[in-house]
Amino acid sequence: MGEQLQVLNALDVAKTQLYHFTAIIIAGMGFFTDAYDLFSISLVAKLLGRLYYTNINHPKPGTLPPSVSASVTGVALVGTLAGQLFFGWLGDKMGRKKVYGMTLLMMIVCSLASGLSFGHTPKGVMATLCFFRFWLGFGIGGDYPLSATIMSEYANKKTRGAFIAAVFAMQGFGILFSALVTLSVSAAFDHRFPSPTYEQNPAASTVPQADYIWRIVLMFGAFPAAATFYWRMKMPETARYTALVAKNAKLAASDMAKVLNVEIQVEEAKVERIAKDRSNNFGLFSKEFVKRHGLHLFGTCSTWFLLDIAFYSQNLFQKDVFSAIGWIPPAKTMNAVHEVYRISRAQTLIAVLSTVPGYWFTVVFIDIIGRYAIQIMGFFFMTVFMFAVAIPYDHWVKKENRIGFLVMYALTFFFANFGPNSTTFVVPAEVFPARLRSTCHGISAAAGKAGAIVGAYGFLYAAQNKDRTKVDAGYHPGIGVKNSLIVLGAINALGMICTIFAVPEAMGKSLEEASQETMEEDDEVHQGA
């Protein structure tokens, strides 16, 4: 193994201290905002349907047409995918810190703009919303590779997994916060502007003031991002980028000396030697990259892709769970504002019972049992519980079995979060060299978002009833929820297989060891012998 730079060694062996927690909060608030922005749209989607697509002569309230629904909720995922690729690449070219500021500004501006609209026609409102949510997603996309890379490069060797997982775990609090904000806003409007149910009076069931609810909820996402902007700009560039990519030994040493409060020797000669080492100058599209990291990149991309198909398809049976346990009654028995209240209350309970605990179990155990074991375990239990829901599906949807249905649902997504939903974010931040780390994390995350698009929209169509008379308005018959869940169970099993054969373990190693970055040519020959 090549000689480690003193500045990087100092980071690896540093005791957990205030700057670690500061970095978790600063990077984590980006993820908190990402989750708020991405998940809040599902809380107000039914309201948008009532406001802009209701025909008062129809027995049921209006819903977003399939194409509009897919656009409104999916355009941010498409933007996120594009942002992950672009900002991931840019983070390796310009530095983590500079690009980090750009993504945050974009998120603040586009969160505020999402609550505005050009004109009052359904087409004008939805087109505006889709435009700004695409660019909001683009900014969110940049946060994935940059937050993960910054945290991995700041962390010490012993607790690096927990710190990166803690940044990602802020997503759970973002989901919970979006549900709580929507709950509070809708409760206030429901109290201030009482109205009859749709059954009683279709025209009066949606008060004009309800139009402010979705705008307030979406615009609120700008505040947590704005609150951390100053601190994000004050963070110094990571020493690994400054020393290994920008080749500035002096700046790396002085930046980390301030952060760690220790004397750090400036090792210009050693940085020059690493820079000239031919074995560490290969590019992303080189044979050397394929030889060293091709299998790793396949592993991080394939597992994230497969996980997100299952994770984002949870809406398939979420509505059945909520209906079976009585958390969300039929739409016609509520007014528009109360429906938002009931949906956000259900999401709050699921976040508290399942989502948030799963993330923090990963934080606690990731540096004890490792990324590899948690990811395999998570995929295994997701497979088991998905099949346990799917095969006797008709049993679970009966009213008398509703509690068991809720438990199965909660366990499936508890093990997604105490499993691959967290580890697929951690691993790509550790196993690639510094000059390609942000790019490769962006590629892996983009593969995940491609899976999310398949999960959220492919299965929305696939899960439609086989009986044409029972299909949702605007959709064609599909394979049904039961068969869709069986397919998703098989996808989880495939994720477990890809993990076994292609995902490396980085626990207890420095980033340079995990990515083989400071290997010198004689070491490489020896390793290959």
* pLDDT score recorded for residue 227: 87
Report the percent of the chain where pLDDT is more than 70.
96
- Give the C-alpha separation, 1 to 522, whole Å: 9
Q: Give the predicted TM-score (pTM) of the model.
A: 0.92
**DSSP helix/strand/coil, 231:** helix
- 188 Cβ partners below 8 Å, 6+ apart? none
Residue 279 pLDDT: 67
> 356 and 176 in contact (C-beta within 8 Å)?
yes
Q: How far is CA 196 from the centre of its chain?
A: 38
Q: How far apart (Å, rounded) are the C-alpha atoms in residues 291 and 92?
A: 21
Question: Quick one: CA torsion of 434, 440, 445, 449, rounded to 10 degrees?
Answer: 160
Residue 525, pLDDT score:
38
pLDDT at 522: 38
Q: What is the pLDDT of residue 325?
A: 77
Handedness of CA 221, 227, 229, 235 (dihedral sign): negative
For tokens 């869940």, what's the residue? 485
Query: At which residue do the structure tokens 């994935």 appear?
Result: 144
Other C-beta atoms closer than 10 Å to the C-beta of 356 total 19
At 529 the pLDDT is 33
Tokens of 90: 């840019």
Q: Give the residue ranges of the chain where pLDDT is below 50.
A: 1, 520-529
| pLDDT, tens digit (0-9, with 9 covering 90-100), for 172-218 | 999 999 999 999 999 999 999 999 999 999 999 999 999 999 999 99
| Per-residue pLDDT at 317 | 66
**In sequence order, which ranges of 115-154 are alpha helices (DSSP H)?**
122-154
Residue pLDDT, tens place only, 283-292: 898 999 999 9
